[in-house]
Every structure is written in structure tokens, then in C-alpha cells.
Amino acid sequence: MSRRPRIDPVVWQPPVPSPRARLHASDPPMPLPEFRPVGAAGPEDVVIHPDGHLYTGVADGRILRLGLAGGPPKEVASTGGRPLGVEVGPDGDLVVSDAYRGVLRIDPTSGAVDVLADGFRLCDNAAVARDGTIWFSDSSQRHDLAHWRADILEHTGTGRLLRRDPSGSVEVVLEGLQFANGVALAADESFVAVAETGAYRISRVWLTGPRAGQHDILVDNLPGFPDNLSTGTDGRIWIALATPRNPQLDRLLPRPPALRKVVWALPLALQPAPARTIWVQAVDKTGTVVTDLQRDGADYHMVTGVREHDGRLYLGSLTESTVAVVPLPRADRQEQSA
């Protein structure tokens, strides 16, 4: 890791953790996953393309294509940076949020890479509307990907949600976010949701109807740190919970900022660390949790991406070298087909 930047912590009183935050598994627990090797570290997000393949970006900058039933991965492009969020645009091209290079368009056939928007500190995740509008997050204006922990510890709230319209114009839609992360559109595109990892919540901006242009909270006081979001085939918003709430961090955040400066100067092993778990939740358009799947993270952890397809969940991870595939419980499959 590069030299640590200075932090200027802000006092914040986190919400009292819910009883769910103290549990280590859902009831019933998440079904046992299968693991699909990608041959590289950090398939942070995943997307299912209409061509029947899964696409992901890994730590060395490559975009990989995998068969849904398994098999060796194939390199289709390289961003030259660190791809995080991966989406499919209306024309079938991939829309990739690269932490260092910005919003990219990638032709999955030729591998051609075009920059759609750049100049951001930490471009993280996106959602693409049917007309080609791209909603994307810039996690922090102070810290880059190598120092994401600094932003969580500092809590200055410089994250942003931005919009790129089909003409190429880019505007800030929402700012002051606590590590802006995953982005997802409602199935009817009535709102766009953005995860605030550092605040344990999902914020929302209304795009249509009487509240168009207004913003509110879709889900508050989550039991873990939300990462990428995606929209399920039944309109649910899936949330990848990278790790549970950390009691040490919750105790530090409301205390004098000097304490966090001391913690930041400690060796990484002595700082509050992510706990191992595999965890996803889904909420409906009212923010009500309708699916909650968690299990022990001994074999997989730091789930940062989730995508639902054909009765299965495909999970990505910032740190693992495989994609996890989880069969949806029968009750969830029945609800989707109802």
C-alpha cells in the first residue's frame, strides 16, 4: 500500500445497531455457494450479458468473460486501471466504472475501450437507464481506492452521485454522501438509489412523479456496510453487504477526532478490520427487506457485487479470486415467478 494520507476526522453519531447486526447468519442461512475461478484477484462486480455470459473486472485491470455454467475465463479488454462496477448498456456494450480512469464504454466483441467521463477520485459503480443515461458514483473526493479505509474512518462525506446524459453532459445530482458506492435504478426508473457505505444506508433520488428531483432515504441503519447494488428481475434492489457493522468503529466515530488519527497511524492489523461473512439482502421499492441471506465467511468474504439471474445469485468480491454462485431459496424463486 502507498504512503497513508492525512485524515481530518469528523465527529458522527452512528445509529444504534439493530438486533440483526449482532447475528452471524440468516435464518435459514444462505445456501452453500459454488465457486467459479476467474484466475485473478478481485472480481469486484459481476453482470450477466444478453449474450449468456458473465462479465467481471479484476484487480489487474482486465475485463473477463465467463460461461454461466463454468469454464475458463477469457480476457475481452483491459482498462489500464482498476475496474469496479460493470453494467450492460442498451446497445450491449459494457459500462465500466474504473476507480482511476472514470466511466468507460467497452465493446465486449472487439475489446475497444472509450472514456465516457473522467476526472474523479474514485469512480465506483453505475446504473444505466433504457435511454442510455448513466448514473454513477464518485466515492470520495479526498481518498483513492488504495485508501478507502481512510474515507470510512475520516467520515467527511465527500461522495457524490452523478449523471451522464446520452449527449455526454455530466452533472452532480447528489453530494455530501458517506463513501458513495453502489447505484441501482428502480425497475420502472422512477428513482435511482445509491449506497452510502460509511453511513449504513441507501439514499434515493426521485426521477419521476410529484417528488421528482427530491431525495430521501430508501433504507436506513443497515446491519452491515453496503457496497454494490443491482436491480433484480422482480424489481427488488439487491444489496451486497461487504462486512457487518464494526463495534470498534462505531465507538470511535462519535469520539474526539484525535483518537481516529491515532488509530490511522497504527499498523493495519491493529485497526478496525472487516469481519468475514457472505451476505446479501434485497429490499422492495418501499425499502422493506424482503430477502436476507448470510452465512459464515470461512470460504469467501468481502462480497461487493450481487446479480440475480435465472434463480441464482452471482456474487463478486473485492479480494477473492472466484465468483460465488448461490441458488435462491425456493420461496424467493416462487415470489419472482408469481
Tens place of pLDDT for every residue, the chain, 338 residues? 468 999 999 999 999 999 999 999 999 999 999 999 999 999 999 999 999 999 999 999 999 999 998 899 999 999 999 999 999 999 999 999 999 999 999 999 999 999 999 999 999 999 999 999 999 999 999 999 999 999 999 999 999 999 999 999 999 999 999 999 999 999 999 999 999 999 999 999 999 999 999 999 999 999 999 999 999 989 999 999 999 999 999 999 999 999 999 999 999 888 888 999 999 999 999 999 999 999 999 999 999 999 999 999 999 999 999 999 999 987 665 454 44
State the virtual CA torsion across 305, 310, 311, 314 in degrees, nearest 10.
Answer: -20
How many residues are present in the chain? 338
Q: Which domains does the chain have, with CATH numbers?
A: 119-337 (2.120.10.30)
Decide if 110 contacts 92 (C-beta within 8 A). Answer: no
Amino acid at 54: L
Measured distance CA(332)–CA(11) in Å, rounded: 40
With 0-12 / 13-18 / 19 or more C-beta atoms within 10 angstroms meaning exposed / middle / buried, residue 227 is: buried
Least Cα distance to 94 among 71, 80, 81, 77 occurs for 77
CA atoms within 13 A on the CB side of 98: 27
Tell me how far the alpha carbon of residue 254 is from its chain's centroid: 26
The structure's pTM equals 0.96
What's the first-to-final CA gap in the chain, in angstroms?
Answer: 49
